[in-house]
Structure 1
């Protein structure tokens, strides 16, 4: 039953918190109420069974807890009456408005991206509430200590409450100053789903599906924004490989070993179309390519190559050169080193990897270093790197892959 409740929570948490925020007007309180409803589910569902609509059940229970909370407060009769009516009446849909964000989850992301918060706080808070990521997962995404992220999220909730930020769509004129943070959140939610940082699953497809859904909604809302289309294209390309990324037992299958006939060609075509929309918008504006469009172009190189051997690694290196100029990061630099190793040989890639900094505590660096050492025939060193990477990852499937590589390297040595 605990697994069932966890699964429901992963799928419904963002919608529940978004709905509650619209009702109670406080992000922190909404999350607390949702968590209390979850505790009730853990106590009641084992005996009563899982409701037909578990998300609605959790939302209703949380709203009733809000009523109980307000009953204990003074001078809040109006809020109490409003919430009580909301539980018993159906509000008619307002007239269609092309500027209206008709999606509570996306609306919540825009609210969490309020200028009253720093960029880091905006992203961390939204990943926690909307993405359902744990503080530890967010810390890994930021390459920061967990206590730092926990404090950042707490301060963000308090800042929104102190500013009395309303649960409403910002004016279209405010979109540009919030859009970058919104895109960052959707991107990081997708990444956590695409390559889970912990647990027994390599892919958390519910996170990827929600991120892609939000991206498509956002693209319809701001059709002239090239980076929105770039991000959608990137997610389409990456998602097209899901059917080939794991075997029947959920074990990872690496890119070069995947059966490309199992890739979703319709989704690849949607990615190509979205990337073209991004290119058209870039041409219309006369600006350069942004980081999401460049990453989508990288993904397109893989998605459209008939075989692994046909991959245009020189173009990929060129695209990484552009990406590292506008969005430098240790992970981008590491990925560029991998591309260089494929285009110019493992020695060239290893020389770059050995100069990289900023990835302390991440399994990615020793994992890549192990690959390059193995390709150079330095198998004993490769095995040590794979073992070190296995110790650093918190994902069980990733650890299995790394230990298997270490064993093969030892046998080859």
Structure 2
């Protein structure tokens, strides 16, 4: 993150220029430029109508009061310049009337724009509250794991999308889900909320990870339409260095061994996405594998692996993970996320989620817990 801030500091002049050009100073600048051109060239009536550009543009950056101030400045400048050049009173009155009409119309437009911006700000605050309720922040440590998550919605103004994730510490060990709802918009958000609600409840109730998946499947079968579904990976760590993975039509997680080897965890047998089991005889299988100290598991959505650059090449997630791997999941995901945005040119066209778990060596885990800021403040660790 420090590197990103450092790179941004090199563009301060350009940022200042954009701020001036797109900010409240531009309408005043236009009025002054028109006045200076007229004074220097003596254009008279040819240039005076251009003063209306000041209040017209002010409607995009200022409120009604700012528009009226710019319009007043333009009217005073136009009157003085017209008198200086001996413009006939009838022609000058026409220019003043046009400036007044543009100023009033621009003031009304500025008032409506301000009202829409206030409504949009309220909607954004509701979206942020919904995101925090739906996708609760992942703590730095959950059970025996270090954890981190990075999420980006393709619709930046919405803040939330159809990708989902959850990480809970249960009596049966740490359990995690990462999924992708078919579709976008509010229906996808509603389905994601349904899946997460059922998962969080079933993860605490069901000793068997497959039973957790069955609970989600039954709920979706009752509530989804015939063409709706959710791809998901559900994983659990019951303890004793053993990891369980159930894949329902989702991209395979990436397992990173302590030595740095990156391996895709393919499902033991193909299974349909959640919500489509009734259409096929296939049922998901539970894949069990060892998960030792120093190992890491990356779960993600297809918005990451299907992200393309200008040459239509997919983002190589496995290579990127191996390149940016570290002992701190948050730092690893920061580097991956920055590289992903650079790969697509700065904007994702699909929701993207990354969730990384790392099982630190026992000694490192004790040190991390003892030095945790939450523990130092007397808070209880998750």
TM-score strictly above 0.5: no
More helix by share: 1
Higher strand content, 1 or 2? 2
Q: Which has the higher contact order (CA 8 A, sep 6+)?
A: 2
Please report the TM-score for the alignment, with normalisation by the length of structure 1.
0.30
